[in-house]
Amino acid sequence: MADFVRGNTEAPVEAMFIHLGLQKRYPRTVPNRDDLFVLTLFHAACKVAFRLEADRDAEEAARTAQPAPAGGWPGEQAMRPQPEAFSPSGFSPR
């Protein structure tokens, strides 16, 4: 039943009751208030558990992800002189 809630988080509680009837895990009766209350609690508990599971997975992914090093040695580029910002284009008046 938790798989049904995971796949259909926005489905109403009556859909859970119909799903149980189709799976032949619940007697074919008219749902009373007690049944709907229990299914509502189960639905809410599943949604909270799935949200906590997603948060835990996101924290684990953030913990294992390595950030790119900031700065560092630029390599060959550090040995080449950079042209000035407004350097002449090669024309020399001399």
47 neighbors 9 (Cβ within 8 angstroms) = yes
Residue 31 lies in a domain: yes
Q: Which domain holds residue 37?
A: 2-65
**pLDDT tens for each residue of 37-65:** 988 999 999 999 999 999 999 999 988 88
**pLDDT tens for each residue of 3-44:** 888 888 888 888 887 888 788 776 667 778 888 898 899 999
Sole residue written with tokens 């390595």: 66
Domains held by the chain: number: 1
User: Nearest to residue 13, comparing CAs of 93, 78, 32?
Assistant: 32
Which carries the bigger pLDDT value, residue 63 or residue 76? 63
Residue 8 lies in a domain: yes
Sole residue written with tokens 């040995």: 79
Residue 32 lies in a domain: yes
pTM for this model (two decimals): 0.59
